[in-house]
Amino acid sequence: MATNNSQHISQQFEQELQDIRTRVLTMGGLVEQQVANALKALKTADIDLARGVMQDDNLVNEFEMKIDEECIQIIALRQPTASDLRLVTVILKTITDLERIGDEANNIANKALSPTDVDYPKKNYRELSALGNHVRGILRDALDAFARLDVDAALSVARESRGVDEEYESFMRTMLTYMMEDPRTISRVLDLMWSARALERIAAHSRNLCEYVIYLVEGKDVRHLSVEHIEKVLQRED
């Protein structure tokens, strides 16, 4: 009888963990949509869409608080073993990064609310749009790596994120040159620069998600390591 009861408790606990993981992915899908809508609102000056992004930020915050509370209850009541505790820890870290991605999307959407008589330079917006598409792809792949607990996919995203840094730096240099050539566009170009900075931060948070996947599966804390160093750490485990 005691054995059956223990099995029931174990199955119930596993279901609780799975439910939390599902909610984390739902939260991830929401912030991914926030990023997409924020970029579209910026491009089209769609005030309603921008405000929708900001409203969704409240939902993201609610997800974070509820999942956080559930994780704390699990730690307090279930006293999880090392592997389960590692999962709970990763979830807590992941939702923090997802909430910050939502904040960055909110920052981009806020730029769509800035009234001005000067349109965005089309060429430069295309460059920002390309950066945005790159970052959205990285976020999507990071969430997929988390969903599948795929270390190889996580490492691939970490490699890809280096390209965002290069795009971002190139974009910022171009924007500075553009402002010097045409001072009338300074306010608009600054909006683009701040948006690019938000995208760069989203890519950084997405890389964090991948580092958590590696920690969860391999038990190796690879934060603050270069991609090359991470590869060496994982190779040593092969």
Domain range list for the chain? 2-236
- For position 63, what pLDDT does the model report? 97
- For position 238, what pLDDT does the model report? 44
Q: Two tokens at 165?
A: 């840094």
Task: Report the topology of domain 2-236.
Answer: Methane Monooxygenase Hydroxylase; Chain G, domain 1 (1.20.58)
Segments in 79-185 forming alpha helices (H): 82-111, 122-148, 151-181
Q: Two tokens at 77?
A: 């009541």
| Nearest-angstrom CA–CA distance, 98 and 104 | 10
Whether the CB-CB separation of 13 and 88 falls below 8 Å is answered with: no
Residues recorded for the chain: 238
- For position 199, what pLDDT does the model report? 97
pLDDT along the chain (238 residues), means of 10: 54 87 96 96 90 95 96 89 91 97 96 67 78 96 96 93 92 90 83 94 97 93 86 69
Query: Measuring CA to CA, which residue among 5, 130, 20, 180 is closest to residue 84?
Result: 20
What is the reported pTM?
A: 0.90
- For position 9, what pLDDT does the model report? 56
Cβ partners under 8 Å of residue 41, min gap 6:
47, 49, 50, 53, 108, 109, 112
- For position 230, what pLDDT does the model report? 87
